Structures are given as C-alpha cells and as structure tokens.
C-alpha cells in the first residue's frame, strides 16, 4: 500500500484544479488496494480522506510522516517550502504544473530539481531544454465527472424554451494584457452577429461566472449589441454544476486568450458536446478551433455547428486517473 499526501485546494471555490483534485480523490476509491490518498486543503486547512474530513496540525503532521509520496498541486511559491521539507524527511515528491506557461523559470527549475517527477498537463509550450527529461511526465488533468447535479429551475426552464443553447464559463474576472482572459467580449460580439444570420431562431447564450466578478464587464459588452436581450441571453452568477449545463447545451465555447489543459474543453469532449476553443494553445483531438482574437472566425465556427456542417472524426476524452496511480507505483518501486 502506497500512502500519498496531496497539497492542493478542494471545492469550493470551483476551478479546474480543485475539481481535478476532488474527482481524483473520488476515483481513488477504486484503487484502495494500491494507494491510500489524503488531500490537505491549504486554504481551509483541512485534511480530506475518501470518507473523512479532519482538522488539526497533529493530523497533518501524522499524515505527512506516514506518507511515501508528497504530491503538490500549488501554483504559488509555497510549493518550494513543502518540497524542501518533504526532501528533508526523505519523501518522494511529485509536482503537477497545471499551467501551459512558466511564469517564474528559476522557481520552476528549482522545483524540478527538488521533485522526483514533474507532471505537465500541457507540454507543448514549455521549454524543456534545461530540465531533466527523465523526470517529466505528460498527463492531462481531465478526470470525468462522477455525478451530475440538478440545475436551478430558472435555468432549466430557459433551456427548455430554446432550441440551440451555447454555454461558456469562467473562474473569475481576469485581465491578460488589459483584455478579458476568458474572451467574453469575443463571444458576445460573435453571438450578436450569429443571431442576425438567416433562419437563426430561438437561441440562447449562457455565461456562467460563479464569482459574479464579470457582471459589470459583461453588461458593458452586451450594451453594444441591442439584439442581445433577456430572450436570448442569460448571465448566471451563482454556483452551479457547469458540467450539468454542458450536458444540456448544444455547443460550448472556450475563447480564452491564454490557457492550460482546460477542464471545460475535455468535459465537452467527454459528453460529446461540440466545443469551440481559441487556438492559443494545444487543444485535445475533437476540439473545433478558431483564430484567437478573430471574431469572424469564431462566428463562422458557431454557424457550422448550428447548421451541422462540422464533422468530428476523433476525440481525446480518456480518464487519466489510472496514469497517475501508475506513476505513484513506478516511483515507489
């Protein structure tokens, strides 16, 4: 039996990394004869097991001492301290880098030196020349949902009234080079043009932001396009199960101006829902790409999906939990 202590965050809030951790802990139930996994939520200061939640420094200390492997899913520099302490106690260290970029090359390189294995969820845009390639593993972060939660009544009713539903979401309002990271402005402009096309009727664009931080920004974008109104647009600021919305949508859009291995992209692929995404990074097989910052390109792809002109021959939607478990076994042996 291999004991693993993961340092990360658990929902809430809902985000790509926290959802990955929650699902991985759930899927580890199927491997209880091989691994025993605890997750220490660094924000809530709580230790999460498969069927338990505990608080207290002694609980964390015991879990740390008994662990064979310390697995770090933290983006801030606190990860260095955790890795250093783990190595002092002769623990194996695994670090998962969830971004497609390296914002601090020196810290990233030091982290790779401290770690026994580095997991990259996207290895297409990271310069690996100065790194030990033997330590690098490419394992996308996607794990399929294990449950679907009921959507709010108002949302279900709105969906039922529509014949073509487009959904998109974000974590919170974030700027990249003074532009909206999630590209809501691109989506809204493309949608406004799309609904003026001949024979386009009864459509609905749903923007989900559980943080509510984009509300004013989205409202300012909507004002530019009078044809977008409460009949064909909905802004959702409460926490919902987005994957349940994806399942009821006809199309999802990921118009990000920068990205990693997007959970929402892989969820759409897994559920067989067409997904249009910007070409700013590597996207899994089956993703429909549009040119980043090109509203016309996005509109054209929306029209193709609407008119059933898009043909997807192959999709990349596997469950990567088994690869992580196999990596633990490889390290321990």
20 class by beta-carbon count within 10 Å (0-12 exposed, 13-18 middle, 19+ buried): buried
pLDDT of amino acid 203: 97
What are the structural domain ranges in the chain? 2-144+319-332, 153-306
pLDDT of amino acid 60: 92
Strand order in the sheet with 46-48: 53-55, 46-48, 35-41, 2-8, 69-72, 92-97, 117-120, 136-138
C-alpha to C-alpha distance for 324 and 303, rounded to whole angstroms: 39
In the chain, count of helices (H) and strands (E)? 11, 16
pLDDT of amino acid 257: 95
pLDDT of amino acid 313: 67
CATH number of this structure's domain 2-144+319-332, picked from the four choices 1.10.3720.10, 3.20.20.80, 3.30.360.10, 3.40.50.10350: 3.40.50.10350
Domains 2-144+319-332 and 153-306 alike in fold: yes
Beta bridge partners of 175: 180
Listed in sequence order, the residues at least 6 apart from 236 whose beta carbon sits closer than 8 Å to its beta carbon are: 155, 206, 207, 208, 209
First to last CA, the chain: 11
pLDDT of amino acid 108: 85
Strands 203-208 and 2-8: unpaired
pLDDT of amino acid 316: 66
- Residues (pLDDT < 50) of the chain are none
CATH superfamily to which 153-306 belongs: Glycogen Phosphorylase B; (3.40.50.2000)
pLDDT of amino acid 51: 77
Task: Give the pTM.
Answer: 0.81
Q: State the angle between helix axes of 263-271 and 16-27 in degrees (0 to 180), rounded to the nearest 10.
A: 50
């Amino acid at each position: 039996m291999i004991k693993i202590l993961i340092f990360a965050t658990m929902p809430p809030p809902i985000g790509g990394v926290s959802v990955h951790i929650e699902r991985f802990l759930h899927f580890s139930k199927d491997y209880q004869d091989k691994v025993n996994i605890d997750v220490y939520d660094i924000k809530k200061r709580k230790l999460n097991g498969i069927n338990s939640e505990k608080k207290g420094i002694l609980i964390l200390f015991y879990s740390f001492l008994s662990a064979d492997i310390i697995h770090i899913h933290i983006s801030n520099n606190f990860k260095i301290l955790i890795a250093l302490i783990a190595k002092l106690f002769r623990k194996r260290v695994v670090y998962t880098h969830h971004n497609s970029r390296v914002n601090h090359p020196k810290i990233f390189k030091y982290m790779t030196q401290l770690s026994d294995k580095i997991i990259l969820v996207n290895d297409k845009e990271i310069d690996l020349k100065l790194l030990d390639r033997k330590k690098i593993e490419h394992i996308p972060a996607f794990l399929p949902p294990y449950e679907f939660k009921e959507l709010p009544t108002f949302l279900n009713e709105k969906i039922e009234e529509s014949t073509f539903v487009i959904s998109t979401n974000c974590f919170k309002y974030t700027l990249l080079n003074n532009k909206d990271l999630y590209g809501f402005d691109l989506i809204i402009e493309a949608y406004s043009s799309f609904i003026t096309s001949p024979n386009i009727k009864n459509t609905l664009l749903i923007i989900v932001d559980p943080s509510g931080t984009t509300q004013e920004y989205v409202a300012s974008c909507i004002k530019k396009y009078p044809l977008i109104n409460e009949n064909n647009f909905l802004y959702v600021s409460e926490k919902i199960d987005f994957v349940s919305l994806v399942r009821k949508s006809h199309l999802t859009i990921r118009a990000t101006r920068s990205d990693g291995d997007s959970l929402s992209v892989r969820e759409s692929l897994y559920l067989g829902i067409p997904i249009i995404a910007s070409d700013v990074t590597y996207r899994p097989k089956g993703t429909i790409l549009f040119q980043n910052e090109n509203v016309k390109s996005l509109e054209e792809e929306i029209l193709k999906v609407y008119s059933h002109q898009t043909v997807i021959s192959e999709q990349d939607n596997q469950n990567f939990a088994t690869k992580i478990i196999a990596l633990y076994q490889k390290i321990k042996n």
